[in-house]
Chain A
Amino acid sequence: EAGVAQSPRYKIIEKRQSVAFWCNPISGHATLYWYQQILGQGPKLLIQFQNNGVVDDSQLPKDRFSAERLKGVDSTLKIQPAKLEDSAVYLCASSLQGPNTEAFFGQGTRLTVV
């Protein structure tokens, strides 16, 4: 079974530039998450999708971050404009629907904002 795919693996941008990350979840997984992990901390949820609908985006900084999941499969996360404090690893995860299901994570995208 293929895992969660993310690209790019690394990205370096200047502040105020824009950047986009892509995620392809495990086939058949209805639930998709984007997490932000700052160095030395645990992952923090940014947004959760159920199929192509948003379930929870309460911690997404909506003035600069946006995410979409077209056709309930692939997802993109965008930052525009980026700030220095956005430097982090952005992790995508997917799971089957409902409780007591494991969330499987991709390798993440390491973003450095300079």
Chain B
Amino acid sequence: SQQGEEDPQALSIQEGENATMNCSYKTSINNLQWYRQNSGRGLVHLILIRSNEREKHSGRLRVTLDTSKKSSSLLITASRAADTASYFCATPTSGGSYIPTFGRGTSLIVHP
């Protein structure tokens, strides 16, 4: 099964700055999903971007997808302390079952 790998593993920024996280994957996909996980809580779905889409926005979030490079990025603009969390990308397995498969995540800390 393939797995998305997030980079960097950890990111520390000041409130108001932008945060960029990257995800690389190995084989062709039909979509890629980004999730957020606050300490001690479940995963919250942020954005799903399809393979025929290059960019998608949701509030302060901007996701890009480059299928030629097999990579995606998540940009959080004007970050807030409440954005402190771990961020994961999930790519579906091949073979028709479309199981979201996760990397180790990026741990983001936003200092007030």
Interface residues of A (CB under 8 A from B): 4, 33, 35, 40-45, 48, 55-56, 91, 93, 98-108, 110
Contact = CB atoms under 8 A, between A and B. Distances in A.
B101 interface: yes
Interface string B14-29: 0000000000000000
A56 B99 contact: yes
Contacts of B102: 35, 42-44
Most B-side CB within 10 Å, residue of A44, A105, A108: A105
A45 B90 contact: no
28 contacts: A33-B100, A35-B102, A41-B104, A42-B103, A42-B104, A42-B105, A43-B43, A43-B88, A45-B101, A48-B99, A56-B93, A56-B97, A91-B42, A93-B100, A99-B30, A99-B31, A100-B48, A100-B50, A101-B98, A102-B33, A103-B45, A103-B100, A104-B45, A105-B35, A105-B43, A105-B44, A107-B41, A107-B42
Contacts of A41: 104
Given A102-B48, A110-B40, 14 more contacts: A42-B103, A42-B105, A43-B88, A45-B101, A48-B99, A55-B99, A56-B97, A91-B43, A98-B98, A100-B48, A100-B50, A102-B45, A105-B42, A107-B42
A55 to B, nearest CB: 5
Interface of B: 30-31, 33, 35, 40-45, 48, 50, 88, 90, 92-93, 97-105
A21 B100 CA distance: 21
A27 to B, nearest CB: 17
Most B-side CB within 10 Å, residue of A4, A42, A93, A104: A42
